[in-house]
Structure 1
Amino acid sequence: MEIKDLLGQTSKLPNVPEVVRYLIQALNNPDADYSDIAKKVSEDQTLSLKTLRLVNSAYFGLSRKISSIDEATIMLGMSRLKILVIASGFSNSAVNVEGLDIKKFWSESFRVATLARWFASKSDDVDPDVAFTAGLIHNIGRLLLHLAVPKRAKAIQTLIEDSYLSRSEAEIDRVGFTSQEAGKALLDMWSFPAELGEAVKQHKKPLSHDDLLPLSAILHLACYINACIREARNEESVKESYPTAVATLAGVAPGTIDQLGEALTLRSGLDGLTE
């Protein structure tokens, strides 16, 4: 099959609110009218309620209850609020996905996003908000496969479990392309910044492409730490396998390797969005 066969099933694509797509398209636009964006978020009742519920959670520890998006903007700042809105919009884009534990899927995506933002804060080459968004959607192609062709997605998982193939190898065997390629195609169709799609496509092997992209390297580092957390590896083991060449491409300061203990304990604070 071809990726266009997935994208042609419009009724099965993730349902991302229009204001969230606009917000992502405006990530690198210094002239974006964020007051207008806040107004549009307020007009989307589901998105607004989910965002405000998170803002009022114990994680943020605000001194008083926030009852509007305008108040949230004042209390948190637009930079922080916009990543919450983006996370809220995507976490509700698909429910009851066949063959996929959607709460676990988004929990891991939130953590990768948080880690990507952390690594970007150690770099002069990548904007932290862009890094967060890339981390949030880095696995959107896998979600697309489960939505559009659930039987093939299940066959991919079975092949991984029954063989020594990586996920990318199993995907190519069963559908002829990787979920990273499918994710890039979906993001391009949504007219997201080209850098996001390229980072999603390249992040598994960021050093193997002609057009080396710091954002893809940031994403790779975030996924590496996420895998270390999932495998419960200790800090010393994480440091030993730390991909220094990738970190160099990401523009991450060399001393960051000594701060990986902090990265291993990061919490996204976003899991409440899937409840």
Structure 2
Amino acid sequence: MEIQDLLNQTSKLPNVPEVVRELIQTLNSDNADYSDIATKVAKDQTISLKVLRLVNSAQFGLSRKVASIDEAIVILGMDKLKILVIASGFAGSVSNLEGIDIKSFWSDSFQIASLAKWLSLRTDKIDADNAFTAGIIYNIGRLLLHVAEPNRAKAIQTLIKEAKVSRTAAELEMLGFTSQEAGKALLEMWKFPQELSDAVYQYKKPLAFNPASPLSAVLNLACYLNASIREDREPEVVKEFIPKKVLELAGIDSSIIENLDEALCLESGLDGLVA
């Protein structure tokens, strides 16, 4: 099987709203017209309703009800609004999928995104918005596989469970390529920034590439911390085994290890966007 076989099934691909793509494209632009983006967000009723529902939830603890996107910008600022719009746009791209608990899938992605942003704030190599967006889309290749080839996706899950092999090994055996390669190809087809597609492709083995992507290192660390939270590992164990070379690639000083308790208590607060 070829990756293009997945990409050719355009009718089944996740439908990411245009306003979300535009927002991602402008993340590193000094000339971004965010007022224009906000206007387009306001016209997308689905995203607007989800964002406003979350803004008005107990998570944000606002003293009064927010009724419009313009008002949300004033109260939250554009940075937080960008996060909510991007997360909402992706979470709404696929609502039901065979072989995947879609709420758990996006909850995991939101957690990775939040951890990636937490890590990015401790290095000058990576933009925090890019880190968050990379976390949202880090597993987009697996989503594509379940959308386009649900039977193959289920066969891979069975092979992982019964043969006790890694997902990478199972994908290579069943497909001839990995979901990271598929994710990179999809993001390139969507014309996402190269930094994001490279990070999605490299994050499982960030030290194996030349040039190596600091953003892929942050994603790798976010996945390590997320697995530690999920498996309820002792903080001292997490600190001992965090990959030091990956920290170095990300440009994060090893002194962060003493502050990992904060990351291990982190919650995305975005699960309300999945409905």
Q: Give the TM interval when normalised to the shorter protein.
A: over 0.9
Distance 1:237 1:253 in 2: 19
Partner of 1:124, secondary structure, is coil
* Equivalent residue, structure 1, for 2:73: 73
Distance 1:129 1:253 in 2: 20
* Equivalent residue, structure 2, for 1:85: 85
User: Deviation at 1:19?
Assistant: 0.4
* Equivalent residue, structure 1, for 2:208: 208
Partner of 1:232, secondary structure, is coil
| Gap regions ≥5 residues in structure 1 | none
Larger mean CA deviation between 250-259 and 107-116 belongs to: 250-259
* Equivalent residue, structure 2, for 1:28: 28
* Equivalent residue, structure 2, for 1:264: 264
User: Deviation at 1:242?
Assistant: 0.5
* Equivalent residue, structure 2, for 1:158: 158
Distance 1:191 1:179 in 2: 18
For residues 12-51 of structure 1, what are the structure 2 equivalents within 5 Å? 12-51=12-51
Distance 1:79 1:190 in 2: 23
Q: Which string of whole-angstrom CA distances, capped at 9 and with x for unpartnered residues, describes residues 196-221 of structure 1?
A: 00000000000000111110000000
Structure 2 letter corresponding to 1:33: D
* Equivalent residue, structure 1, for 2:224: 224
* Equivalent residue, structure 2, for 1:182: 182
* Equivalent residue, structure 2, for 1:120: 120
Structure 2 letter corresponding to 1:151: N
* Equivalent residue, structure 1, for 2:233: 233
Partner of 2:11, secondary structure, is helix
Structure 1 letter corresponding to 2:243: P
Question: 1:249 and 2:252 equivalent?
Answer: no
User: Deviation at 1:57?
Assistant: 1.1
Distance 2:216 2:20 in 1: 22
Larger mean CA deviation between 144-153 and 60-69 belongs to: 60-69
Partner of 2:208, secondary structure, is coil
Under a length normalisation based on structure 1, what TM-score does the superposition of the two structures give?
Answer: 0.99
User: Deviation at 1:164?
Assistant: 2.8
Distance 2:256 2:12 in 1: 41
Give aligned pairs, total: 275
Q: Which string of whole-angstrom CA distances, capped at 9 and with x for unpartnered residues, describes residues 42-69 of structure 1?
A: 0000111001111111111112111111
Distance 1:119 1:268 in 2: 14
Q: Which string of whole-angstrom CA distances, capped at 9 and with x for unpartnered residues, describes residues 156-205 of structure 1?
A: 00000011311011001111110001001010011100000000000000
Larger mean CA deviation between 32-41 and 60-69 belongs to: 60-69
Distance 1:63 1:52 in 2: 14
In percent, how many aligned pairs have the same letter?
65
Distance 1:119 1:253 in 2: 11
Distance 2:82 2:65 in 1: 19
Distance 1:112 1:254 in 2: 20
Under a length normalisation based on structure 2, what TM-score does the superposition of the two structures give?
Answer: 0.99
Distance 1:101 1:243 in 2: 30
Distance 1:61 1:119 in 2: 25
* Equivalent residue, structure 1, for 2:172: 172
User: Deviation at 1:80?
Assistant: 1.2
* Equivalent residue, structure 1, for 2:134: 134
Q: Which string of whole-angstrom CA distances, capped at 9 and with x for unpartnered residues, describes residues 68-94 of structure 1?
A: 111111111111110110000000100
